Amino acid sequence: MKGSVKDSTYTEVPEVVIIRLPQYLRTLTRLRNQGIDVVSSRQLGDLIQMTPAQIRKDLSYFGRFGKQGRGYTISGLIKQLRTILALNEEWKVGLVGIGRLGRAILSYPGFSSEGFKIVAAFDSEPSQVGQMVGGIMIQPMHKLAEIISAEGIQICITAVPADFAQSVIDELISSGVKSIVNYAPVGIQVPDDIKLRNIDPVIALQSMTYYIKKGCV
């Protein structure tokens, strides 16, 4: 694929488009691993459950990709998407909260292969501090700002109880963190210049029961 990526900033691209790009990347990577070299927007749409027109529109924010009637060269489009998402470099990640979920996150092997390296973990519980989990020593919360600065951490994951989530995230922001993935089941308020992603599987399940009850699935 000979595609050109045009200059664009996140303010010019709808956030929902940015959120969809990793879905495209994951699907394209799976196709490449299956030995497939070229994919059409219709084929890609069928796999992601999106219309071909939406896929073409999403990609058009970043340049011209593929050729009409020939589709997209998968390896080339993967390379372009990884460049757009800045996944061709390593990102240092911090984790706050070493309960069951936090320990599972620390032990998950899928981050490093995608360019994310958890380099620090924190907890307020004295019994957790000093333990080794997934090769990371748990640090006390009072060292949060110091370690975030020393390590150059820009992304953090919070896996703390709901009652503590806002104060923890406030502390992360004051320590210079600009992007946060929050697993706490509570609404969080952050400044406009902070990127926050909330992950709540209970909400996802609750939205599914509506369709089950209506007999739509």
Position 88 scores a pLDDT of 87
**Which residues does 156 contact at the CB level (< 8 Å), separation at least 6?**
93, 94, 95, 96, 148, 172, 177, 179, 180, 181
Residue 206's pLDDT band, with cuts at 50, 70 and 90, is confident
Name the DSSP class of 88.
T
Extract the tokens encoding 202. Answer: 């209970």
Distance between CA atoms of 149 and 168, rounded to whole angstroms?
16
- Chain segment 131-160, per-residue pLDDT in tens: 999 889 999 999 999 999 999 999 999 999
Q: pLDDT above 70 covers what percent of the chain? A: 92
- Cα torsion 174, 180, 185, 188 to 10°: value is 50
**pLDDT over threshold 80, residue 65:** no
- From 89, 71, 87, select the one nearest 25 (Cα to Cα): 87
| Cβ proximity of 169 and 182 under 8 Å | yes
Whether domain 91-203 has CATH 3.40.50.720: yes
- Chain segment 71-129, per-residue pLDDT in tens: 899 999 999 999 999 998 899 999 999 999 999 999 988 888 888 999 999 999 999 99
**What is the CATH architecture of 4-84?**
Orthogonal Bundle (1.10)
Handedness of CA 114, 115, 116, 117 (dihedral sign): positive
Position 69 scores a pLDDT of 62
Position 11 scores a pLDDT of 47
Q: Is residue 180 within a helix (H) or strand (E), and if so which, with residue range? A: strand 179-182
Extract the tokens encoding 11. Answer: 């303010």
Residue 200's pLDDT band, with cuts at 50, 70 and 90, is confident
Select the more confidently predicted residue: 147 or 2. 147
| Cβ proximity of 165 and 149 under 8 Å | no
State the amino acid at position 201 in one-letter form. Answer: P
What residue segments make up the domains of the chain, in order of their start? 4-84, 91-203
Select the more confidently predicted residue: 198 or 10. 198
**Which residues does 150 contact at the CB level (< 8 Å), separation at least 6?**
none
Residues paired with residue 39 on neighbouring β-strands, in sequence order:
72
- Chain segment 9-45, per-residue pLDDT in tens: 444 889 899 999 999 999 999 999 999 999 999 999 9
Position 67 scores a pLDDT of 64
- Region of poorest pLDDT, from 4-8, 76-80, 202-206: 4-8
Q: Alpha helices, DSSP H only, in the chain? A: 15-33, 41-48, 52-60, 74-84, 100-107, 144-151, 162-174, 201-213
Select the more confidently predicted residue: 75 or 6. 75
